[in-house]
Amino acid sequence: MAKVAFLGLGVMGYPMAGHLARAGHSVTVYNRTAAKAEAWVAEHGGAMEATPAAAAAGADFVMSCVGNDDDLRQVCTGEDGALAGMAPGSVFVDHTTVSAAVTREMYAAARARQVSFIDAPISGGQAGAENGALSVMCGGDESAYQRAEAVIAAYANICRRLGESGAGQMTKMCNQIAIAGLVQGLSEALHFAEAAGLDGQAVVEVISQGAAGSWQMSNRYKTMLDDHFDHGFAVDWMRKDLKICLSTADEVGASLPVTALVDQFYKDVQKMGGGRWDTSSLFKRLREIG
C-alpha cells in the first residue's frame, strides 16, 4: 500500500480520496476550505494538512482534483505548493480537466524537482466517482504511469495511458466534444417528440435499443423529461472545458463547428440562470427558448 496525498475534496475528489482510504492506502488530504477536509477525516480516518506542501511531504503519490489551470498552478507551484514538499522519485497525478499547456508546464516544473507528473483527467461524473467507476485518461512518462496505475485503480473502471505529457488532457477534450454533441442531439430528439405529441419515455424506450442509444440517453432522459437538472456536471464547468477544446482546436487545426454551436447554447443556459444546472439542461433551453 502507498502513502498518498489528495488535494481537492469537491464532488469528485471527496469520494475518490475515500476509495483510496478503503483500498488500504495511507491518505492525507488537503482542501482550500478546511471544513471539508475535517469532514473527510471524520468519515474516513487518515490525516489532513493546512497546505499542499505539508500534505505532500513524504507521499509516494500526490493526487489533485481542483478547478482550473490557475488552481492547478497554485496547488503545484504556488506558495506552499505540493512540489515543494515532494521527494525525488514521487509521482504527481492530476485529475483536473485543464489545458494541455498548463499540464506540460507542470510536467516541466515537476521534472526539475525529479518528480514525475501524470495528467489523468476523468470522466464518469459524480456517480462514477462515488461508485469507483471512472474512466481515467493519462499522459506522461510510461514508467511513472505504470507505478501510478495500481493506485488509480481504487476509483477507476478503466485507466489507460494515451501518450506523452498532455495526451490525457487532449483525450478528455475528445470526451467533452463527444458529450456536447450527444446531449444536444438527445435534447432535440426529446423536444421533437414533445412537439409531435409523442410520449417521450416510450420513444426513448424504443430508440435506445437501436443505433441511437447512448449513456446520456439511458441515464438522463427521465430527469430531462421531468425538468430536473441537478444530476452532476454543471454547465459552468462544461463551458470551461469547451473553451479549452475550442482554443486547442485552433492550435492544432481541427474544425469543431458543432461544439462551437453547443457552447453558445450553454451560454444561453447560463443567461437563463442555469450555470449550476447539469449539462442535460440543453433540453430546458429548447423548451423555453426553442
Number of neighbouring beta carbons within 10 Å of residue 290: 7
Instruction: Flag whether pLDDT at 183 surpasses 80.
Output: yes
Query: For a pLDDT cut of 90, what percent of the chain falls above it?
Result: 96
Same CATH topology for 3-164 and 170-288: the answer is no
CA distance 120 to 94: 5
Q: Please, what is the average pLDDT of the chain?
A: 97
Res. 233 pLDDT band, cuts 50 70 90: confident
Give the integer Cα–Cα distance in Å for 130 and 255: 35
Q: Domain residues of the chain, as ranges?
A: 3-164, 170-288
pLDDT tens per residue, range 1-40: 899 999 999 999 999 999 999 999 999 999 999 999 999 9
What is the reported pLDDT for 98?
A: 97
**Interval 247-283: pLDDT, tens:** 999 999 999 999 999 999 999 999 999 999 999 999 9
pLDDT for the residue numbered 37 = 98
Q: Which amino acid is at 151?
A: V
Summarize the confidence of residues 108-128 as an average pLDDT. Answer: 96
Q: What is the largest CA-CA distance in the chain?
A: 64
Is 172 an annotated catalytic residue?
yes
Residues 121 and 172: beta-carbon distance below 8 Å = yes
Check residues 232 and 122 and name the one with the higher pLDDT.
Answer: 122
Query: What span, in angstroms and rounded, lies between the C-alpha atoms of 278 and 6?
Result: 26
> Nearest CA to 134 among 31, 254, 239, 11?
11
User: Under CATH, what is the fold of the domain 170-288?
Assistant: N-(1-d-carboxylethyl)-l-norvaline Dehydrogenase; domain 2 (1.10.1040)
Catalytic choice (36, 172, 240, 271): 172
Give the Cα-Cα-Cα angle 156, 159, 164 (nearest 5 degrees): 145
Is 3-164 a domain of CATH 3.30.420.40? no
Question: Positive or negative, the Cα torsion across 14, 99, 79, 62?
Answer: positive
Which amino acid does the sequence have at 174? C
Q: Mean per-residue pLDDT for 112-117?
A: 98
List helix spans (H) across the chain: 13-22, 34-44, 52-56, 69-77, 82-85, 100-112, 125-131, 142-152, 167-195, 200-207, 215-225, 235-252, 257-271, 282-288
Give residue 275's pLDDT. 98
Q: How far is CA 219 from the centre of its chain?
A: 18
| Residue 47 main-chain phi, psi, to 5 deg | -140, 165
Whether the predicted model's global pTM rises above the 0.85 cut: yes
Confidence of residue 79 (pLDDT cuts 50, 70, 90): confident
The reported pLDDT for the residue numbered 232 is 75
CB atoms within 10 A of CB 263: 18
